[in-house]
Amino acid sequence: MLEARDLECTRGERVLFSALALRVEPGTLLRVAGPNGTGKTSLLRMLCGLLQPTQGEVRWREKPIRLLKEEYWAALAYVGHLNGVKDDLTAAENLRASAGIAGLDADEGTVRGALDAVGLAGFEDSLARFLSQGQKRRIALARLHLSGAVPLWILDEPFTALDARGVAELSALVARQLAGGGIVVLTTHQEVPVAAVRAATVELGREREPRS
Amino acid sequence: MLEARDLECTRGERVLFSALALRVEPGTLLRVAGPNGTGKTSLLRMLCGLLQPTQGEVRWREKPIRLLKEEYWAALAYVGHLNGVKDDLTAAENLRASAGIAGLDADEGTVRGALDAVGLAGFEDSLARFLSQGQKRRIALARLHLSGAVPLWILDEPFTALDARGVAELSALVARQLAGGGIVVLTTHQEVPVAAVRAATVELGREREPRS
Amino acid sequence: MVWGGWSEFWAMGGYGAFVWGAYGVTVAVLAVEVWLVRRRRRLARDEAARIRRRGA
Amino acid sequence: MIGTVAAVVRRDLLLAFRQRADVANTLLFFVVVVTMVPLGVGAEPNLLRAIAPGVVWVAALLAAILSLNRLFAADFADGTLEQMLISAEPLPLIVLGKTAAHWLVTGLPVTAMSVVLGVMFDLGAEATATLAAALALGTPVLSLVGAVGAALTLGLRGGGVLVSLLVLPLYVPVLILGAGSVEAVAAGLGAAPYLLLLGALALFALVLTPWAVSAALRISVE
Amino acid sequence: MIGTVAAVVRRDLLLAFRQRADVANTLLFFVVVVTMVPLGVGAEPNLLRAIAPGVVWVAALLAAILSLNRLFAADFADGTLEQMLISAEPLPLIVLGKTAAHWLVTGLPVTAMSVVLGVMFDLGAEATATLAAALALGTPVLSLVGAVGAALTLGLRGGGVLVSLLVLPLYVPVLILGAGSVEAVAAGLGAAPYLLLLGALALFALVLTPWAVSAALRISVE
Amino acid sequence: MIPWCAAAAIALCAAGLYVGFFVAPTDATQGESYRIIFIHVPAAWMSMFLYLVLAFWAGVGLALNTRLSAMMASAIAPTGAVMTFVALWSGALWGRPTWGTYWVWDARLTSELILLFLYFGFMALQAAIDDPRRADKAGAVLALVGVVNVPIIYFSVKWWNTLHQGASVSLTKAPTMAATMLAGMILMALAFWMYAVAVTLVRVRAIILERERRSDWIKELAPGA
Amino acid sequence: MKPRHKRAALIGAGLLLLAGAVTLVLTAFQQNLVFFFTPSQVAANEAPAGKAFRIGGMVESGSLERAGDGLTVHFRVTDTARSVQVKYTGILPDLFKEGKGVVAQGRLGPDGVFQATEVLAKHDENYMPPEAAHALEQGAKAQKTMQGR
Ligand code: HEM
Ligand SMILES: Nc1ncnc2c1ncn2[C@@H]1O[C@H](COP(=O)(O)OP(=O)(O)OP(=O)(O)O)[C@@H](O)[C@H]1O
Ligand SMILES: Nc1ncnc2c1ncn2[C@@H]1O[C@H](COP(=O)(O)OP(=O)(O)OP(=O)(O)O)[C@@H](O)[C@H]1O
Ligand SMILES: [Mg+2]
Ligand SMILES: [Mg+2]
């Protein structure tokens, strides 16, 4: 169970949001919505423990993630704006490297299976440099197939650059994760095409106007 | 009037498409559709003259662009996958630099006006490094406001990272361009939310399956 | 008293250039630091006061 | 047309100034080389005087080579280069602007610094002036020729090395002429022929390389 | 745990190998510096022998500094670094892996090259061996300490220069000990105390810097 | 507190200089040039001491996330750099008449120079970072890494046989220095200390005003500050 | 392994390595790592042959001779046990005196004379007025050696 208490985010001199509280139970999809520049990405990064809140704390299973550290991160998969894909590695090498960094061990079969699942069969050994935008995004998303047992997924605009079939496949994947009792937090400017039993939305930047 | 004859595109060893012909009259919106990795971006870059077709040619007002060169490019505005935005320049500086490169001269008022028009009022003097994804995209799109009299726009997934209002504003802009007798070629995986009188679609990668 | 007169004092037994060079630069550096830090405080205070006036 | 060049130069200088790295890096590079050489080699004035011109020229070469991959890489990675290729202005002009900016942040500081170094190493007025003049004529060649290498290897995997391999042989004449000029002065001969040749090289490079760079860029960005 | 380090090292080496630039660039840098020095100084063997260790060490330092910005910058720009920060494995281990890879592509070639250089400059077997040993112990310190600087200045505007400013003072002891060891041997004394101290520095750095780097990375990526 | 420290600094400085120039006798070997001791040693002591204080506050700030301690650290740095510079400068000017050279690369001198660069690095790093919170933390990491240098400076004369002399004043043995000379030196050291406290406090107030100008409590503080 | 155990293991390994580092440092300080060599070391052939190095000690009382050109001097450097003959041409520092500390850079000639290229005076940590110095002079000076360590 993921919980945030009294979160405040300050970037530069602007307070993006404050006194934000949320509580996400297993099996729930949380959508973070709001116009450009209102702090969605910042919130997700806080939930990941990449950004320290200026106030408040994030808790995972009743313990502050600030203390849990690696224990929390072992339960987390994060796909950010940036793909974390190296142009000079092939798709398979990229995925294997990601697994190594995350501390998962992925054998050849798992890696190929994951790439297959995101529709990159046949491109395993192409350098990422020679893949299209959407194909690179798929490499990043393939990480979700590796970390099968990870309960918490945080996805920042995961549908970007995907074609219609890609969107559908990812939606199905998210639905499966939810059905399995996982938690998914995501942002998207499109309508969320996920059939979730339990869903919630956090709306950022309601009243705020940019200040110079 | 933009025209392509018998275009063929080969990337690596794969033929992405061949014998592609198209003809876009003034006031027409051309959407290039197709799944990830089928060559949409490649086609747009060919239309820009950035990529040489392995076969066929692109013609602008009945002359091959290969010969027209700067004359053609003076009539073209292209917004690619990549924003062409420098993290270390402010929004205004970025836009001014783009104008300089494109050979337009933009005075202070024009630049501020363009940024205002894409909803970046108040962020003119923020370094792009400190802007959100959507805000960076808006800087790239602000170029379209500068090049008022340019008849041909080529936009590669222009709606990416924009929020709902951003999408609406861009759609209105595209509609205005079309109404003024301009041509717009774009790709998008979402439904095109533009009310165009004359629209056409090129569908790529219909039958193609990725080959290894 | 260890000195026979001012000129002897300034001469520092022939080491005047070194002794006064060291002292002089020290005094200069410290003076500059004091000036800078006071200027910084003044600017900060003015700025804060301006914000306060605007905000109030 | 001049406006375009100016706009590009202004933009690149602004970027260099923002990142500050570029300008100061070159200067710092010299300070480092110069303070490290006595630290490592021992601080004998005669020895240092003997190696000073060599050190300055080697450092100039290194500064040029090491900064070459920065010349187009950033613009390539973030899409600005594409915009340059489809500019309504002639590409060679834009290239000239970028090269000029590169020279302003590498060659010019080197040249200016060489005067200070000449004094520090006690080279004597005439040798110092010759060193500075040779650098003023030679460093533009380094930037212009280097740009061809940078453009050819843009986005290639082995980029960094390739550039050095392509460019180094072309740099050797500049190095020989440049070092030769200072030695000629030290030997009591006139440096004029060396400087004239360097000037000729600079003019050749100024005229020919922008076209080569433009062609190379169009190929590399495909 | 070891698996993580290995995975990171493997990945970085693979990347370095793909880009090839990294390894070969360092070597090329050496060859350039070293072949240029006789050009500038004149090829008197005794003189060259005297300055050779200093030159090699200065070049090693420069190579280390110049490659530092590549250490984390690419991973930062493309989002991989974020993934490392939220890895289930301890960050210092991952950092260690990256630093090890950095050493393998900069320090190791330098060390290997030094043997060739020692022969070229006719240093004699013992001095050459000492030079190589000193480099083998000293270059890891350069990589480890440099990583702190690189992590602290990640994504900053003045990055390049700042790194040099932060890291150089910390490099000076390594330079002095390293050059001193060879001189001691050339003077007919034992190099042992120098090498012992270098080894101690290396161990200290090995233990302490990964934590500092981890802290710095978390701060810089915020 | 600031006026008191400033007044104390001025008074102690006057007393120290009086003792140093008019009471303390000429040194047997160095003649009058030794009078540089009255700024060299206090400045050298303060340069090391201030670095330790800086690192302490930086560490506290990093561990407890208290902003004030980080600001203390930033406020100390320039004064520390000034002290280091004075120690180097006066030492060099002292070295010429006594040793016969302004500079040698011995352990004490080199490590003191490194200290100056560490101060510069700390300030440059903080200046380069726009976000004050990140600047504080990054500076703290650097400061803590640099702490190893201080014992090296201090013990260098013991560990190596350097050109620089050993300690004249230490806790474990009687000072090897005439009493009036020592008195002058101690007075000047106290004066430098008071100076450092005064300047640092003024600077930290300025920093607080700069950083917290937007928060409410500062608005009450501003007019009277 | 749980993350907490991993952290503990890492810290343990770190402490081990640190202990190793300290051992190395201590071993290094047992050997000689020097800014200058003493005459005894020179006599024991510990100083570099045919290379420039620094020699440190006291100027032996009564050993100083000035040559006719007024610039060249000969003196002996001693650490009370052994001494080395030094020849130097150039300006001496003011503090250069018989019975005082000195550090000279140069190389040892085949005749056993140290040809100095640079002579620096080394001051000890004693500061006292001339009268006191005079009083101490007799007894203390004989034993006083260079501040070697
Ligand atoms: C640039 C040259 C010099 C530097 C960087 C330097 C640095 C230092 C430092 C850092 C200290 C404080 C260390 C401690 O408290 O143990 C110190 C102390 C001292 N220095 Fe220097 N010094 C220099 C030149 C000199 C010279 C030329 C002399 C006189 C011959 C001198 C005499 C002293 C004395 C008497 C102390 C006090 C030692 C004590 O009682 O602890 N220094 N110096
Ligand atoms: N590193 C940074 N330093 C300072 N301010 C930043 C930084 N990153 C982002 N910001 C500011 O924080 C605000 C929120 O950014 P964030 O990326 O969280 O927005 P977002 O809601 O994800 O927007 P988008 O929909 O465009 O992705 C932006 O207005 C931006 O100006
Ligand atoms: N530089 C390149 N060299 C070789 N092949 C490439 C290169 N760039 C792209 N390709 C290949 O060309 C194909 C089409 O790429 P393109 O970027 O045009 O696709 P796209 O239709 O725009 O896809 P997306 O919807 O993901 O953006 C891809 O399958 C890719 O493998
Ligand atoms: Mg976002
Ligand atoms: Mg595409």
Of the ligands numbered here, which is closest to the C-alpha atom of B134? 2
Residue G88 has what pLDDT?
A: 86
Claim to verify: residue G24 and residue G93 sit in the same structural domain = no
Claim to verify: residue G29 and residue G43 sit in the same structural domain = no
Query: What residues have CB less than 8 Å from D53, skipping those under 6 apart?
Result: D123, D127, D131, D179, D182, D183, E40
Residues of chain B contacting A138 with CB distance shorter than 8 Å: 36
Chains F and C touch (3+ CB pairs under 8 A): yes
Q: Mean pLDDT, chain C, as a whole number? A: 84
Pure H helices in chain B: 40-48, 65-68, 70-73, 91-102, 108-117, 133-146, 164-179
Higher pLDDT pick, F202 / E164: F202
> Structure tokens of E53?
């260790």
Give the largest CA-CA distance in chain G: 83
Residue ranges of F 182-201 with Cβ closer than 8 A to chain C: 195, 199
What's the gap in Å between G58 CA and the centre of ligand 4? 73
Claim to verify: residue G117 and residue G142 sit in the same structural domain = yes
Question: Range of F143's domain?
Answer: 2-22+36-162+179-221
Helix axes F37-64, F67-98, angle to 10 degrees: 160
CB distance A43 to A198 below 8 Å: no
**Which atom of ligand 2 approaches the CA of B163 most closely?**
25
Which range has highest mean pLDDT (B21-35, F90-104, F124-138)? Answer: B21-35
ipTM: 0.81
Residue A100 has what pLDDT?
A: 87
Cβ-based burial of A109 (10 A; exposed 0-12, middle 13-18, buried ≥19): exposed
Task: Characterise G73 by phi-psi region: left (phi > 0), alpha (psi -120 to 50), beta (else).
Answer: beta
Contact A13 F214 (CB under 8 A): yes
Contact E80 A86 (CB under 8 A): yes
Claim to verify: residue G11 and residue G61 sit in the same structural domain = no
**Domain count of chain G?**
2
- Pocket mutation for ligand 2, best pick of A14, A38, A79, A159 (most atoms within 8 Å of C-beta): A38
| Residue located nearest, by CA, to atom 34 of ligand 1 | F41
The percentage of residues in chain A with a pLDDT greater than 90, rounded to a whole number, is 53
**Helix, strand or coil for residue G75?**
strand
The percentage of residues in chain F with a pLDDT greater than 90, rounded to a whole number, is 40
Contact A12 F130 (CB under 8 A): yes
CA distances from E187 to E181, G54, G116 (A): 10, 12, 16
Residues of chain C contacting F19 with CB distance shorter than 8 Å: none
Instruction: Quote the CA–CA distance of F35 and E98 in Å, as a whole number.
Output: 53
Of the ligands numbered here, which is closest to the C-alpha atom of A167? 3
CB distance B18 to B52 below 8 Å: no
Of B152-161, D161-170, F35-44, give the lowest mean pLDDT range.
D161-170
**Which atom of ligand 2 approaches the CA of B123 most closely?**
31
Residue E47 has what pLDDT?
A: 72
Residue E117 has what pLDDT?
A: 86
Of A86-100, B59-73, F30-44, G75-89, give the lowest mean pLDDT range.
G75-89
- In this predicted structure, the answer to whether residue G133 has a pLDDT above a threshold of 90 is no
Query: What residues have CB less than 8 Å from B9, skipping those under 6 apart?
Result: B15, B16, B17, B18, B20, B39, B42, B43, B46, B51, B53, B54
CA distances from F58 to E64, F48, F69, F128 (A): 28, 15, 7, 17
Confidence of residue F106 (pLDDT cuts 50, 70, 90): confident
Confidence of residue G142 (pLDDT cuts 50, 70, 90): very low
Best of G4, G5, G10 to disrupt the A interface (most A CBs within 10 Å) is: G4
**Domain count of chain F?**
1
Q: What is the pTM for the complete model shown?
A: 0.83
Q: Per-residue pLDDT averaged across B125-147, rounded? A: 89
Which range has highest mean pLDDT (A77-91, B192-206, G88-102)? Answer: A77-91
**Which atom of ligand 1 approaches the CA of F48 most closely?**
10
Of A153-157, D206-210, F175-179, give the lowest mean pLDDT range.
F175-179
Question: Does residue A134 have its Cβ closer than 6 Å to ligand 3?
Answer: yes
Does any domain span residue F52? yes
Least Cα separation, residue G24 to chain F (angstroms): 14
- In this predicted structure, the answer to whether residue G54 has a pLDDT above a threshold of 70 is yes
- In this predicted structure, the answer to whether residue F225 has a pLDDT above a threshold of 50 is no
Give the largest CA-CA distance in chain A: 53
Residue E50 has what pLDDT?
A: 74
**Domain count of chain D?**
1
β-strands G101-108, G53-59 pairing: antiparallel
The percentage of residues in chain C with a pLDDT greater than 70, rounded to a whole number, is 93
- In this predicted structure, the answer to whether residue G139 has a pLDDT above a threshold of 60 is no
- In this predicted structure, the answer to whether residue A211 has a pLDDT above a threshold of 60 is no
Residue G49 has what pLDDT?
A: 67
Question: Does residue A133 have its Cβ closer than 6 Å to ligand 3?
Answer: yes
Question: Does residue A100 have its Cβ closer than 6 Å to ligand 3?
Answer: no
Backbone angles phi, psi at G73, to 5 degrees: -130, 150
Of A79-88, E16-25, G81-90, give the lowest mean pLDDT range.
E16-25
- Nearest CA-CA partner of D73 in D185, D163, D172, D184: D163
Contact F100 G96 (CB under 8 A): yes
Q: Mean pLDDT, chain A, as a whole number? A: 88
Contact A12 F131 (CB under 8 A): yes
Least Cα separation, residue F224 to chain E (angstroms): 35
Q: Mean pLDDT, chain B, as a whole number? A: 87
Q: Per-residue pLDDT averaged across B126-145, rounded? A: 90
pLDDT in tens, E136-148: 999 999 999 999 9
**Enclosing H/E stretch for F105:** none
Q: Per-residue pLDDT averaged across B104-120, rounded? A: 88
The percentage of residues in chain G with a pLDDT greater than 70, rounded to a whole number, is 78
Q: Per-residue pLDDT averaged across A112-138, rounded? A: 91
- In this predicted structure, the answer to whether residue G143 has a pLDDT above a threshold of 60 is no
Question: Range of G79's domain?
Answer: 35-147
Residues of chain A contacting E87 with CB distance shorter than 8 Å: 70, 73, 101-103
Backbone angles phi, psi at B5, to 5 degrees: -125, 120
Residue D39 has what pLDDT?
A: 64
Least Cα separation, residue E99 to chain A (angstroms): 14
What's the gap in Å between B34 CA and the centre of ligand 5? 10
Which range has highest mean pLDDT (D162-176, F134-148, F160-174)? Answer: F134-148
Residue E215 has what pLDDT?
A: 93
CB distance E26 to E106 below 8 Å: yes
Residue C40 has what pLDDT?
A: 92
Q: Chain F within 8 Å of E36 (Cβ-Cβ)?
A: no
Question: Range of D25's domain?
Answer: 2-221
pLDDT in tens, E96-124: 999 999 999 889 988 998 898 888 888 88
Residues of chain B contacting A133 with CB distance shorter than 8 Å: 36, 41, 81, 157
The percentage of residues in chain A with a pLDDT greater than 70, rounded to a whole number, is 95
Sheet strands (E) in chain A: 2-11, 14-24, 28-33, 55-60, 63-64, 76-79, 152-156, 183-187, 198-203
Q: Mean pLDDT, chain G, as a whole number? A: 76
Name subunits touching B (3+ CB pairs < 8 A): A, D
Least Cα separation, residue E105 to chain G (angstroms): 24
Best of F66, F131, F134, F218 to disrupt the A interface (most A CBs within 10 Å) is: F131
Query: What residues have CB less than 8 Å from D55, skipping those under 6 apart?
Result: D33, D34, D37, D117, E40
Least Cα separation, residue G93 to chain E (angstroms): 27
Of A77-81, C48-52, E124-128, G122-126, give the lowest mean pLDDT range.
G122-126
SS3 content of chain C, % helix, strand, coil (to 5): 90, 0, 10
The minimal CB distance from E51 to the residues D28, D41, D168 is found for D41
Torsion of CA G104, G106, G107, G111, to 10 degrees: -70
Least Cα separation, residue F175 to chain E (angstroms): 31
pLDDT in tens, B179-203: 988 999 999 887 777 776 777 888 8
Residue B212 has what pLDDT?
A: 36
What is the pLDDT tens value at each position of chain D, 222 positions in all? Answer: 677 777 788 887 777 776 655 566 667 776 667 666 666 666 556 666 666 777 788 778 877 877 777 788 888 888 899 998 988 888 998 899 899 988 988 889 889 888 888 877 777 888 899 999 999 999 999 999 999 988 888 866 555 556 766 787 788 788 888 878 887 887 788 888 999 999 999 999 999 999 999 998 998 887
Q: Per-residue pLDDT averaged across A59-86, rounded? A: 91
Q: Which residues surround ligand 4, an ion (CB under 5 A)?
A: A 41; B 132-133
Question: Does residue A41 have its Cβ closer than 6 Å to ligand 2?
Answer: yes
**Which atom of ligand 3 approaches the CA of B35 most closely?**
25
**Which atom of ligand 3 approaches the CA of B45 most closely?**
18
Claim to verify: residue G10 and residue G49 sit in the same structural domain = no
G interface toward E at CB cutoff 8 Å? 1, 3, 6-7, 9-10, 14, 17-18, 20-22, 24-25, 27-29, 31-33, 46-51, 53
Residue A142 has what pLDDT?
A: 93
- In this predicted structure, the answer to whether residue F111 has a pLDDT above a threshold of 50 is yes
